[in-house]
Amino acid sequence: MDRFSWTTGLLELGETLVVQQRGVRLGDGEEKVKFGSGVLLLSTHRLIWRDQKNHECCIAVPLSQIVFIEEQAAGIGKSAKIVVHLHPASSKKEPGPFQSSKYSYIKLSFKEHGQIEFYRRLSEEITQRRWESMPTGQAMQVNKDSQAGRIRAVGIVGIERKLEEKRKETDKNISEAFEDLSKLMEKAKEMVELSKSIASKIKEKQGDITEDETIRFKSYLLSMGIANPVTRETYGSGTEYHMQLAKQLAGILQAPLEERGGIMSLTEVYCLVNRARGLELLSPEDLVNACKMLESLKLPLRLRIFDSGVMVIELQSHNEEEMVAAALETVSEKGSLTADEFAKLVGMSVLLAKERLLLAEKMGHLCRDDSVEGLRFYPNLFLTQS
Amino acid sequence: AGKGFWAELLGVGDFYYELGVQIIEVCLALRHRNGGLIRLQELQLQVQKGRGKFAQDVSQDDLLRAIKKLKVLGNGFGIIPVGGTFLVQSVPAELSMDHTVVLQLAEKKGFVTVSEIQASLKWETERAKQVLDHLLREGLAWLDAQAPAEPQFWLPALFSELRPHEEPPATP
């Protein structure tokens, strides 16, 4: 609660009210504070709390101080809450009700409901970061006037000067836009650092963190593109999303797999699924993560990785080792076959045909003849005729 | 989770994932010709063709980003730097430093000979032959045994940059 500052509660120039909710109690981390019943206001720039009885008592915290927010569902005798995790207070913060706090988060208790809407709006504001493009305060007014004063010449000189002004203005806008980008990059760096430190803390205290919290935290990391440092056998590198996706894939791929002899390479799957989707395409990582969960979710397909690194999806009912026996027969009939020839004969992709022949070789059924004319496979006569 | 925080923030996810599909399809279609190795410019040309006249332009940087994402699918996507540009590999063929360096040497003319390798790289005959044989076996190089001075090893992946008076052999 030491991030809050006293305020008049009046909105500043450029600041707009987004939503407000009565009956909100503030909490400092896990402790209660004397801000028990108030109106919580969300603006484009700040989170403001005003006491319902004493309107003079009004505090606010800038939205830029927020790291991330979480919802806490209501329980018996407990209202629904929003937990707001905050950056440490900056040294030039205006004075507020608390000088220090041992917590880096506050809790907003919604005694008269309204938390769903409030959470949604707060998420939006944090994502859009409108406070960065709408500087508040009196300064803007002054600039406008001085600029309007300058451009007032006439004739060719005047036109030239106007063009020069416009060029400078564009230049300024471009560099300001890049400033935003560099600010974004800085924030991104901060968030990544924070996540890494939290992740390593979790690793150390593995016993104390509940399953549910760990899953939630992993999903934050994954959504920010950070590889998962905490792995558990039962979940692999998956999250709720990947679990749902895996179930979806099982449905979509059943028929295509049956058409293709029970096996498809992961690149084929990627193309098939994304072509079918049209919009909201899957990233390769999401596809791989979902496929890694197929087996543990007991779905009728599984991911298999060959020695060469080639990844395929096969039907549970598909047995590659049995297919090898059939492949051996085919090769014996023809005397010898290359991967290309075998592929054409059987109607498979060259990639998977090669994998099958290599597997047959690994199992000892085939021998290779590796020359500049290509890789050719023969039945392993050393085995059968010894 | 799902699309990811950054993809949603910057709105670029779908563009790269669709591009991934198009890259896979082009590489698959041309594999029988170039063995699974293609110049980045050639890939760009073919992908643009497939996308049609009214589609958004695709830069080489876009292609490289999309390919980097495809690597996780485990089917052999790789990027090899040669002579200021890149070759895109789309099959799981093992290409060592030796193979890469010979590809770079061949880049200027589209083909390379054992003597050239000996002269530029100072390798022994055995080493040069081994590398060239591997490229032949993987289908990345074609042998012209009837070239005037000595056998020439041509790389289909490099064909589009040939100057008019140099021609590839008639049969692979």
Looking at residue B4, its pLDDT comes to 52
Residue B78 Ramachandran class (φ > 0 left, ψ -120 to 50 alpha, else beta): beta
Judged by CB atoms closer than 8 Å, whether chains meet at A288 and B136 is answered as no
Both tokens of B166, joined, read 């140099």
Q: Identify whether A339 is part of a domain.
A: yes
DSSP string, B123-154: --HHHHHHHHHHHHHTTS-EEETT-SSS-EEE
| pLDDT tens track for A169-215 | 777 777 776 776 777 777 677 777 777 777 776 667 655 556 666 66
A332 lies in which domain range? 320-383
| pLDDT tens track for A285-313 | 889 989 988 888 888 999 999 888 889 99
DSSP string, A288-300: HHHHHTTTTTT-S
Mean pLDDT over the full length of chain A: 80
Domain B1-92, CATH: 1.10.10.10
| pLDDT tens track for A51-65 | 988 888 899 999 988
A215: closest chain B residue by CA: B1
Residues A10 and A127 in one domain: yes
Q: Identify whether A290 is part of a domain.
A: yes
Judged by CB atoms closer than 8 Å, whether chains meet at A288 and B3 is answered as no
Looking at residue A267, its pLDDT comes to 92
- Residue B143: list chain A partners with CB under 8 A: 372
Q: How many residues does chain A have?
A: 386
Domain end point (choices A82, A106, A131): A131
Q: Which fold has domain B93-171?
A: Arc Repressor Mutant, subunit A (1.10.10)
Query: Residue A48 to residues A6, A112, A156, A254, A274: CA-CA distances in angstroms?
Result: 10, 17, 52, 54, 45
Q: Does the model's ipTM exceed the 0.85 cut?
A: no
Residues of A with CB under 8 A from a CB of B: 127, 219, 222-225, 239-242, 265-267, 270-271, 274-275, 279-288, 305, 308-311, 350-351, 370-372, 374-375
Judged by CB atoms closer than 8 Å, whether chains meet at A281 and B13 is answered as yes
Judged by CB atoms closer than 8 Å, whether chains meet at A288 and B72 is answered as yes
Judged by CB atoms closer than 8 Å, whether chains meet at A351 and B75 is answered as yes
A217: closest chain B residue by CA: B1
| pLDDT tens track for A10-37 | 888 778 888 889 999 999 988 888 888 8
Q: Domain-by-domain residue ranges, chain B?
A: 1-92, 93-171
Domain end point (choices A112, A131, A150): A131
Q: Which helix (H) or strand (E) holds B2?
A: none
Q: Which CATH number do you get for residue A375?
A: 1.10.10.10
Both tokens of A154, joined, read 């006439």
Q: Identify whether A217 is part of a domain.
A: no
Q: Identify whether A142 is part of a domain.
A: no
Using a pLDDT cut of 90, give the percent of chain B over it. 25
Residues A73 and A30 in one domain: yes
What gap in Å lies between CA A345 and CA B13, rounded to an integer?
39
Judged by CB atoms closer than 8 Å, whether chains meet at B92 and A288 is answered as no
Residues A126 and A26 in one domain: yes
Per-residue pLDDT of chain B (172 residues; tens, 9 = 90+): 344 555 555 556 778 888 999 999 999 888 888 888 999 999 999 999 888 877 778 899 889 989 998 998 987 888 988 878 899 998 887 778 888 889 889 988 889 999 999 999 898 888 899 899 888 888 888 898 888 889 999 988 887 644 344 445 555 5
Looking at residue A177, its pLDDT comes to 67
DSSP string, A49-115: EEESS-TT-EEEEEGGGEEEEEEE--BTTB-EEEEEEEPPPPTTPPP-S-S--S-SEEEEEETT--H
Residue A263: helix, strand or coil by DSSP?
Answer: strand
| pLDDT tens track for A89-122 | 887 788 888 888 888 889 999 988 888 889 988 9
Mean pLDDT of A261-274: 91
**Nearest CA distance, A241 vs chain B (angstrom):** 6
Beta strands of chain A (E only): which ranges?
5-6, 17-28, 31-32, 38-43, 46-51, 58-62, 66-72, 80-86, 105-110, 263-265, 301-305, 311-315, 337-338, 366-371, 374-379
Nearest to A267, CA basis, from B15, B23, B63: B23
**Nearest CA distance, B167 vs chain A (angstrom):** 22
Judged by CB atoms closer than 8 Å, whether chains meet at B137 and A282 is answered as no
**Nearest CA distance, B9 vs chain A (angstrom):** 8
Residues A375 and A271 in one domain: no
- Residue A284: list chain B partners with CB under 8 A: 17, 20, 69-73
Residues A280 and A337 in one domain: no
Taking the CA atoms of residue A160, residue A162, residue A163 and residue A165 in that order, the dihedral angle to the nearest 10 degrees is 120
Domain end point (choices A97, A116, A131): A131
Same fold yes or no, B1-92 and B93-171: yes
Q: Rounded to two decimals, what is the model's pTM? A: 0.53
Residues A13 and A103 in one domain: yes
User: Which residue in the block uniquely carries the two structure tokens 């021998």?
Assistant: A367
- Under 8 Å CB-to-CB from B123, ≥6 apart: which residues? B117
Judged by CB atoms closer than 8 Å, whether chains meet at A242 and B75 is answered as no
**A267 → closest Cβ in B4, B75, B139:** B75
Judged by CB atoms closer than 8 Å, whether chains meet at B17 and A274 is answered as yes
Mean pLDDT of A259-266: 88
| Domain count for chain A | 3
